[in-house]
Amino acid sequence: MLLPPVLSITGSDGTGGAGIQADVQTITSMGCRAITAVTCLSVLNEHTGLVMHDVPTELVVNQVQPLLQSYRPTAAKIGLVRDAETIMALRRELAGIRHIVCDPGILSARGTRLIPDEAILTLRNHLLPLAELLTVRCNEAALLLGRAIESDRDMLQAAQQLSQLGPQWILMRGGRFEADRLTALLYGGAQPQFFSSHNVDGWMQHGVSGALSSAIAARLALGDDMEQAVSRAHEYMHHQVVYQPDATPRRLRPADLYDSFLDLLAQHHTVAHEVQWYADRMHISTRYLAQITALASGHTPKQVIDDYLVQKAKVLLTGSGLSIQETAYHLGFSSQAQFSRLFSHIEGQTPSQYRK
C-alpha cells in the first residue's frame, strides 16, 4: 500500500523538537509519507541568541514544485513562512491542494515574535483564504485581530472573526484564563467545541503546536473529516508528545494519566475488565499503569477496576429493578457466578445478602 503523501512547508529546527524535523517524525508516525520544503533556518548563537535565516523565495518554490508534480499530495501543512513574497508565491503553488492546514507560528512557545508585520498582513490577505484549517494560539489570534482574548467568550468571538478571513475551520489553543487549566476551541462545524486540559506545561512546550497541525494534516490525508482528524491528532499528541517521558517532567505524569485511566474506566467498564485493555488505549505498558495507580491510589490497576465494578453493582442492586443475573450481565460479567465471586471477595457478603 502506498502511503498518502503529506507536504510540510515550514522552518528548520536543529534541535529536532519543532519545525520540519518534528513534522517528518509526526507525519511518519501517523502512517503517511512526509515530503518537505524548508522556508528558513534557525541558528542558535551563544552571543546573539536565536537567529533566523530565510530561504530565498525562488529556492522555496523550487523545492515545492517538483514535490507537487511527483506526489500530488491532497494535504499540506504550512508552518513558519517569514517572507511576504514567499507567502504570495506559495499561494499560487498550493491553490489546488484539497486540505491545507495553516499553522503560521507567529509567536514562539515563549511568546517571541517570529514573523514581521508585512508577512502577517500578506498571510491574512492571501494565505488564510486557502486554508481549510487555521491553528493558532490565543496570543497569536490576538495579534492577528488586534484585540484582547481573555475568556472563553472572547475565544469564540475571535474564532468568528478569523473565519471571516477565509479558513473553513479554526482551532484556537492556549486559552489560559485559570492558572491550572488550558482551553482550546474548534470552530467551524455545527456546534463550536471547547476542550480543556490541566496539563498546562505539557501542552505549552516547544514544538507542540507544529506537531499537532502536521498530525491533523496527516489524518486529513488518510480520509478523516475535520472533527475526526482533530480528535485523532489530539489523541496522538496527548499520548506520544505531551506526555512523552523525555519531554515532560515525570512528576507531571502520574496524576493526569491516572485521571485518564478513570475516564476510560467510567466509559468502558461494562465491556472491559482487563488491565491490558486500558493500558493499550493509553499507549503505555501495564507495568507503568501499575506504577501510576500505586502512586495515585495505593492500589493495583486490577483493584481499581474491580472496586469500580463493585461500586457500580451496589448502586444497581439497591437502586434498580435488575435481578442479580441481569446486574452481572449489565456490568459485562460472563456469568452470575463470576460476578458473585468478585462481589463477595470485596464486600465480604454475596450480592443477595447485600441487597437484603
CATH assignment of the domain containing 60: 3.40.1190.20
Question: What is the number of other CB atoms lying within 10 angstroms of the CB of residue 281?
Answer: 16
Tell me: do 154 and 119 sit in the same domain: yes
Predicted confidence at residue 44, as pLDDT, reads 63
Mean pLDDT in residue range 27-36 = 91
Final residue belonging to a domain, choices 242, 273, 304: 242
What CATH number does the domain containing 319 carry?
1.10.10.60
Tell me: do 291 and 211 sit in the same domain: no
| Region for residue 10 given its phi and psi (left: phi exceeds 0; alpha: psi -120 to 50; beta: otherwise) | beta
Q: How confident is the model at residue 130 (pLDDT cuts 50, 70, 90)?
A: very high
Q: How confident is the model at residue 81 (pLDDT cuts 50, 70, 90)?
A: very high
Mean pLDDT in residue range 71-91 = 96
Between 197 and 18, whose confidence is greater?
18
Tell me: do 16 and 156 sit in the same domain: yes
Buried b (16+ CB within 10 A) or exposed e, 144-155: bbeeebeeeebb
pLDDT surpasses 80 at 283: no
Tell me: do 74 and 173 sit in the same domain: yes
Mean pLDDT in residue range 328-348 = 94
* Chain centre to alpha carbon of residue 115: 24
Tell me: do 149 and 282 sit in the same domain: no
Number of compact structural domains in the chain: 2
pLDDT > 90 fraction of the chain, expressed in percent and rounded? 58
* Chain centre to alpha carbon of residue 29: 14
Tell me: do 60 and 138 sit in the same domain: yes
Tell me: do 234 and 99 sit in the same domain: yes
Tell me: do 116 and 257 sit in the same domain: no
Reduce the DSSP state of residue 243 to 3 states and report it. coil
Tell me: do 172 and 317 sit in the same domain: no
Q: How far apart are CA 351 and CA 328, in angstroms?
A: 10
Provide the residue range defining the domain that includes 160: 5-242
Between 241 and 184, whose confidence is greater?
184
pLDDT > 70 fraction of the chain, expressed in percent and rounded? 89
Tell me: do 259 and 355 sit in the same domain: yes
Predicted confidence at residue 319, as pLDDT, reads 79
Predicted confidence at residue 157, as pLDDT, reads 95
Mean pLDDT in residue range 263-267 = 86
Final residue belonging to a domain, choices 192, 224, 242: 242
Predicted confidence at residue 246, as pLDDT, reads 43
Tell me: do 120 and 188 sit in the same domain: yes
pTM: 0.67
Q: How confident is the model at residue 204 (pLDDT cuts 50, 70, 90)?
A: low
Predicted confidence at residue 254, as pLDDT, reads 60
Predicted confidence at residue 303, as pLDDT, reads 94
Tell me: do 325 and 280 sit in the same domain: yes
